[in-house]
Amino acid sequence: MTALQGQTGAIADILLVEVKHAIAHLTLNRPEKRNALNDDLIAAIDAFFAAVPADTRAIVVSGAGGHFSSGLDLSQHVARQPLDVMAHSRNWHRVMARIANSPIPVIAAMNGAVMGGGLEFGATCHVRVAEENVRFQMPEGLRGIFVGGGGSVRISKLIGPDRMTEMMLTGRTYSGAEGERLGLAHHVVPEGQALAKAFELAGRIAKNSPTINAFIIEAIAQIGTMPPEAGFYAESLTAALSQSGPDAEEGLRAFLEKRPPVFR
């Protein structure tokens, strides 16, 4: 495992990157802080997604030391003025949008603490695997602050505004199994198996057409914000585009020839 290319010092040390068989593995590497997301780590994540290594077909994200992420590093936020907090939040929105809109699918392997900003980060990922021992929590309300990394939008879409409100008011914690039932995770696995499952899914996803993976991520997200008739039209356009290139030709030929497709 190597540090993020093109970065040096603290930024490189706190985000580790390994690329193997078209799958990039990002490891949040602040185990002494349960991988709390400070400004340097957010900058490193931003830098990676701004220049994903060529030929990457899937991205797996995990945390070092038994935790995915305990959230925002509050030690950097004890004394900030309102406009500074606003700017910080908007930068998080920009970086989280870069992940959510990545044409390369992102798979989160979540264990231990998945709290606050860590859950906001996880919610941007396209596929989420949680271990049974995960602790999903939004504790900001208990600390006298409001979410700022996109959770009021993304997490509310996953579990509903009513349940998000209750989570924040009470500091309620959900397990991996409960989170899977609610929509915080797509898969739940026994303790210690999230990373293996994430790589299994990444390997499957990496065999898809890269064009179709991008269409799935980008078109469904946009269609979800449209009125029904506009969504139907956008679906037809996307279908037409998807069926007019070499990937569609290969996929259909492979089906007729009863063999796995090989997408370039």
Catalytic site residue from 120, 131, 132, 180: 120
Provide the residue type at 179 as one letter.
G
Residue 230, pLDDT > 50, answer yes
Average pLDDT, the chain: 92
How many other CB atoms are there within 10 angstroms of residue 180's CB atom? Answer: 21
Rounded Cα–Cα distance for residues 120 and 205 (Å): 23
How does pLDDT run across 202-229, given as a tens digit for each residue?
Answer: 999 999 999 999 999 999 999 999 999 9
Which of 59, 67, 64 shows the shortest CA–CA distance to 99? 59
pLDDT in tens, 60-72: 999 999 999 999 9
Other CB atoms within a 10 A radius of the CB of residue 134 amount to 33
Angle at 225 between CA 46 and CA 220, to 5 degrees: 70
Higher pLDDT, 215 or 12: 215
191 is catalytic: no
The more confidently predicted of residues 64 and 243 is 64
Catalytic residue among 131, 132, 140, 180: 140
140 annotated active-site: yes
pLDDT band at 78 (very low <50, low <70, confident <90, very high): low
Residue bearing the bigger pLDDT, 209 or 247: 209
Q: Is the separation of the CB atoms in 61 and 108 below 8 Å?
A: yes
Question: Looking at residues 228-254, what average pLDDT do you find?
Answer: 90
Per-residue pLDDT for 43 more than 80?
yes
Domains and CATH numbers, the chain: 2-206 (3.90.226.10), 210-256 (1.10.12)
**CA distance linking residue 14 with residue 180, whole number of Å:** 28
Q: Residue 56, SS3?
A: coil
Give the model confidence (pLDDT) of 83-130 as tens digits.
999 999 999 999 999 999 999 999 999 999 999 999 999 999 999 999
For the cut 70, the answer to whether the pLDDT of residue 4 exceeds it is no
C-alpha to C-alpha distance for 138 and 235, rounded to whole angstroms: 35
